[in-house]
């Protein structure tokens, strides 16, 4: 008779442990069915659910979104990491929740370390400077300044050509 009670007690304990694990998993946060992967400084397109009124991005330093006509959503990778996106309807009901993971480019990128300073180059087919999050501050600023100067010159030339 005591073996029977011990068996029931063990079953009850296992059932309670299982319930606690399920409760902990539910309370630890949302689980997302799929993840949208975006390369840093690039865009990805996905379709929005019908009736979306509001899009919430957990960390806009990681990803940014733009809603386009026809229910399209453009997601741009702004910084490395993972964030979430929640789509709400007009009443505030959640229509969709998805993870967005922003990763660095893998192909044709060469990284050079000069002591602690890092420099990134895009090598397709020739190696050219490319600013990437994590590059050394001097390299980053110099490349950014060159890019801004070039863009300003191109806009100035276009404005003169329009006259």
The architecture of the domain spanning 35-103 is Sandwich (2.60)
pLDDT, residue 109, reads 87
Distance of CA 61 to the CA centre of its chain: 9
pLDDT, residue 89, reads 94
pLDDT, residue 34, reads 85
What pLDDT digit, counting tens, does each position of 109-155 carry?
Answer: 899 999 999 999 988 889 998 888 899 999 999 999 998 999 899 98
Beginning with the edge strand found earlier in the chain, give each strand of the sheet holding 35-39 in spatial order: 35-39, 94-103, 81-88, 54-57
pTM above 0.75, yes or no: no
| 80-to-3, 8, 24, 68, 100 alpha-carbon distances in Å | 57, 51, 29, 24, 10
pLDDT, residue 20, reads 43
Count of other CB atoms within 10 angstroms of residue 82: 16
Longest Cα–Cα distance of the chain, Å, equals: 101
For the purposes of burial, counting CB atoms within 10 Å of the CB of 101, is it exposed (0-12), middle (13-18) or buried (19 or more)? middle
Characterize the bridge pairing of strands 94-103 and 109-114: unpaired
Please state the domain extents for the chain: 1-26, 35-103, 109-156
Low pLDDT (below 70) residues in the chain:
1-33, 163
pLDDT, residue 6, reads 52
């Amino acid at each position: 008779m005591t073996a029977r009670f011990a068996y029931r007690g063990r079953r009850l304990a296992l059932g309670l442990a299982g319930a606690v694990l399920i409760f902990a998993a539910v309370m630890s946060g949302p689980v997302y069915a799929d993840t949208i992967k975006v390369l840093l400084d690039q865009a990805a397109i996905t379709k929005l659910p019908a009736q979306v009124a509001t899009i919430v991005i957990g960390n806009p330093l990681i990803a940014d979104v733009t809603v386009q006509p026809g229910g399209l959503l453009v997601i741009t990778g702004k910084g490395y990491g993972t964030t979430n996106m929640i789509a709400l309807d007009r009443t505030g009901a959640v229509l969709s929740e998805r993870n967005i993971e922003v990763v660095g480019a893998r192909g044709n990128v060469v990284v050079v370390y000069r002591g602690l300073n890092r420099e990134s180059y895009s090598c397709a087919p020739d190696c050219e400077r490319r600013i990437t999050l994590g590059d050394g501050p001097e390299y980053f600023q110099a490349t950014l300044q060159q890019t801004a100067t070039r863009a300003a010159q191109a806009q100035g030339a276009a404005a003169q050509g329009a006259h």
